[in-house]
Structure formats: C-alpha cells, structure tokens
C-alpha cells in the first residue's frame, strides 16, 4: 500500500467567528480584505456583522456580496475586479461552497494572473498559491473549506468545470456552528445529503487509504445520526455542530481519495435541470449505492457499522433504509418527485446522452465498480 495525504488547512472548530477571525488575519499579516458572501446572508445581517468585525480588527474592507448559488465565470470576474480595485492582500469567504469556491478562483487569479478559463480542468499549471483565503462555511455540505478544488459554471456551455490544485487550499477554515443555525430545513437536508454522499464515495473509492477511510466513516456516522435532528430543529446546536464537523471530515476525505458514480451521475442531471447539488446527490444516493454494494467486499462491514445497520442486512434492505432516511428528510428519491422535472418529457435519447456524459466525468474511474455509459443510462432509467 502506498499513498500520500496532504492538507495544509488550519482548522479552527467550535470557536465563535468573532474570536477566531481577527487572530487568523493577524497571522496572515492582512491589512486590506475582500469579504465575499451572498445576498441571502447579506439580508439576514450576517455579512454586515462580519464586515463590522473586520473593521473593528483594523482591516480596510471591500465587499462582494452577490455570489450566486451556481456561480459563473462572470461572477468570478466581477469579484476579481473589486479585489483588484481595492488591492486586497487577503480574502474572507463567508457562505456555502459557492462563496468559498469563488474565493478560491479570485485568489487564484490575484496571484497567478490570466483568466479562470486558462486554468480549468487540465488547463495551465497553477504555479503560485492563491491569495490567503479564510473560509467560514455557513452550510454543512460541500466541505470546500478542506478541498483543493473550485467548481465554477461556464456560462457558455453550462458545464461546471473545476480547477484542481494543491495551490487552492484555503489558509484557514473557521467552523463556527452558529453560522449554520439560520439554514432552512430544505437546504439543511440537501446539503447534509451531500455530506453523506462525499463520505460514502470517499470510503468506497479506489483511491481510498486508511486515513481517508477513518475520516469518511466518522463523517458518515455523524451525518447519518445527526442530519435528521438538524433538519427537524435548526436550533439543535449539538446536531448543527456534528453536521459541520461531518462536512469538513467528509470534504477532507474525498479531497484525497476522490468521488465516484453518484457525483458522476449528478453532472448531467444538474446540467439538464439546474438542480441544487445536494438535492441531486440525495436523489442519487440509493441508486449509486445499489450499484456499488455488490463490489464493496471487505468494506461493506465498515459502511454498515457507520450507518448503524446489522451486518446481515441484504443489499436491498440497506438501500431501503437509506431511501427511508432520505424520505424522512423530505428529500425526493425519484426523478418524478423532483420539482421542475417532467419525466414524461425524458426520451430514450436523453437517457443515452446523460449516460455518456456521466461516463466521461473525471470521478467515474475512481468508482469501486466499473461503469460503462450503458450502465449509467440504466441507473438513470431506474430513477424515473
Ligand atoms: Fe458533492
């Protein structure tokens, strides 16, 4: 067995943002900061609170508070223009994965120059570390605060193309569970389903190693137990804390070990219907798992233990329990249950095209069970 594990992120867990942020910026030596956030967080006053906190800490502050749910290259360029005009020396991203990813992309262009498209998947090498970025996630979902990837939508092709490099790690991640308390139940459930998706795919993936297995199983255990509580009662502080930790651990795991068929199938479905990423991953979880369970071998026992299921359970019973868990969260478990999807309009040609698109996704070769385009089409067909 040979593997490498590298993550230079300073993880600060459980400390209030107001206490954690000023010393981190002092360590960086920052004086002029760009605060990135989104309109929803500006509306509830969170972005304003962080801006005041930064000014109190002696920082000059520029703001970009318009990051969209599925950010595009145009969003990155707009934020970059603000960063350049203010000549900032650090970035603070307060928000979900979209805000943190825009922070990474802006940080990349600030230090490396050029345009985002130059660095997209298998593009130019990234020679310099991004501008120091402090991430404070307000959702327990993407784990972007622990990963070396940024995903930004190309508005011309509507494809989400990532940039991947060890230069993209954030400098520090401030995990303050209080920041996730205002997330509504639907988004709590969807982002949390993404956490379980990351954990299970990182654990089952071909590039998994003993370190990622430990992180992934712990993340899966915490998410499985706590997501129902965090969804039912957003003020359940213990459940929020557990989910935020699970999200970071799962992000840490999948960053090193890769994802699999669930995230590969999400690509064409998201491109077709503009689905929320977490909702799409929740939808795919039972189907992807049903496909992979026969190939898990020795790893099956660890997965069942993390999900608190008896070791004798059949594949079908495991999938049924996961489906029931998702239903309990109020998430759709078939395509016809997804708002905005008219299954009567889906043609055989659509399914074939989506299967081909999924089979071309970079994460598919990491899946424990090989899958052809026809396999992907068959799984998608079963989801209707
Ligand atoms: Fe994901």
Q: How far is the CA of 194 from the centre of ligand 1 (A)?
A: 5
Q: Please state, in angstroms and rounded to a whole number, the distance separating the CA atoms of residues 260 and 288.
A: 9
Torsion angle of C-alpha atoms 137, 325, 208, 376, degrees rounded to 10? -110
> Nearest to residue 282, comparing CAs of 352, 353, 223, 213?
223
**Residue 89 near residue 30, CB atoms below 8 Å:** yes
Q: How far is the CA of 109 from the centre of ligand 1 (A)?
A: 24
Domain boundaries, the chain: 10-180, 185-382
**Residue 66 near residue 76, CB atoms below 8 Å:** no
Q: Considering the domain 185-382 in this protein, what is its CATH number?
A: 1.20.1090.10
Q: How far is the CA of 96 from the centre of ligand 1 (A)?
A: 12
Give the model's pLDDT for residue 191. 97
pTM of structure: 0.96
Q: How far is the CA of 95 from the centre of ligand 1 (A)?
A: 16
Q: How far is the CA of 277 from the centre of ligand 1 (A)?
A: 7
Q: How far is the CA of 84 from the centre of ligand 1 (A)?
A: 31
- Residues 335-361 as b/e (b if ≥16 CB within 10 A, e otherwise) read beebeebeeeebeeeebbebbebbbeb
Q: How far is the CA of 142 from the centre of ligand 1 (A)?
A: 6
Q: How far is the CA of 263 from the centre of ligand 1 (A)?
A: 6
Tokens 């318009």 correspond to 66
Collect all residues with Cβ–Cβ distance below 8 Å to 77 and sequence separation of at least 6: 115, 116
| Residue 215: both structure tokens together | 């992180």
Give the model's pLDDT for residue 158. 67
Q: How far is the CA of 56 from the centre of ligand 1 (A)?
A: 36
**Residue 197 near residue 285, CB atoms below 8 Å:** yes
Give the model's pLDDT for residue 322. 98
> Nearest to residue 120, comparing CAs of 357, 362, 356?
362
Give the model's pLDDT for residue 264. 97
Give the model's pLDDT for residue 161. 77
Q: How far is the CA of 88 from the centre of ligand 1 (A)?
A: 30
Give the model's pLDDT for residue 303. 97
Q: How far is the CA of 202 from the centre of ligand 1 (A)?
A: 11
- Per residue in 299-352, pLDDT (tens digit) is 999 999 999 999 999 999 999 999 999 999 999 999 999 999 999 999 999 999
Spell out, as residue ranges, where the chain has pLDDT lower than 70. Answer: 157-158
**Residue 139 near residue 187, CB atoms below 8 Å:** yes
Q: How far is the CA of 198 from the centre of ligand 1 (A)?
A: 6
Q: How far is the CA of 196 from the centre of ligand 1 (A)?
A: 9
For 10-180, CATH number out of 1.10.287.3510, 3.40.50.720, 3.40.50.1970, 2.40.30.10 equals 3.40.50.1970
Vertex 344: Cα angle to 341 and 348 (nearest 5) = 100
Helix (H, G, I), strand (E, B) or coil at 121: coil
Q: Please state, in angstroms and rounded to a whole number, the distance separating the CA atoms of residues 184 and 45.
A: 16
Q: How far is the CA of 278 from the centre of ligand 1 (A)?
A: 6
Give the model's pLDDT for residue 84. 98
**Residue 121 near residue 45, CB atoms below 8 Å:** no
């Amino acid at each position: 067995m040979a593997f490498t594990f590298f993550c230079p992120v300073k993880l600060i867990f459980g400390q209030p943002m107001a206490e954690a942020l000023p010393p981190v910026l002092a360590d960086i030596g920052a004086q002029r900061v760009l605060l990135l956030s989104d309109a929803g967080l500006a509306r509830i006053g969170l972005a304003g609170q962080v801006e005041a906190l930064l000014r109190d800490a002696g920082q000059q502050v520029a703001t970009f508070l318009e990051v969209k749910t599925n950010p595009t290259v145009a969003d990155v360029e707009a934020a970059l223009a603000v960063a350049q005009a203010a000549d900032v020396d650090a970035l603070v991203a307060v928000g979900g994965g979209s805000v943190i990813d825009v922070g990474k992309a802006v940080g990349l262009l600030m230090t490396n120059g050029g345009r985002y498209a130059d660095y997209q998947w298998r593009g130019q090498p990234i020679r310099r570390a991004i501008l120091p970025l402090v991430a404070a996630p307000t959702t327990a979902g993407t784990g972007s605060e622990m990963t070396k990837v940024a995903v930004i939508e190309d508005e011309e092709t509507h494809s989400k193309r990532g940039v991947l490099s060890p230069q993209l790690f954030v400098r520090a991640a401030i995990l303050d569970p209080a920041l996730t308390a205002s997330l509504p139940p639907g988004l709590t459930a969807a982002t949390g389903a993404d956490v379980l998706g990351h954990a299970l795919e990182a654990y089952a993936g071909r590039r998994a190693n003993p370190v990622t297995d430990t992180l992934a199983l712990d993340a899966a255990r915490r998410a499985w137990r706590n997501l129902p509580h965090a969804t039912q009662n957003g003020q359940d502080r213990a459940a929020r804390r557990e989910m935020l930790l699970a999200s970071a651990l799962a992000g840490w795991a999948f960053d090193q070990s890769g994802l699999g068929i669930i995230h590969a199938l999400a690509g064409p479905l998201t491109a077709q219907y503009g689905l929320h990423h977490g909702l799409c991953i929740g939808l795919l979880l039972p189907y992807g798992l049903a496909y992979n369970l026969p190939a898990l071998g020795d790893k099956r026992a660890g997965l069942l233990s993390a999900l608190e299921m008896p070791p004798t359970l059949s594949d079908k019973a495991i999938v049924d329990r996961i489906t029931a868990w998702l239903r309990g969260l109020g998430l759709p478990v078939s395509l016809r249950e997804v708002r905005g999807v008219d299954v009567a309009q889906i043609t055989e040609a659509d399914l074939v095209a989506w299967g081909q698109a999924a089979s071309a996704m970079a994460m598919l070769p990491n899946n424990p069970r090989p899958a052809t385009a026809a396999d992907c089409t068959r799984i998608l067909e079963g989801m209707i």
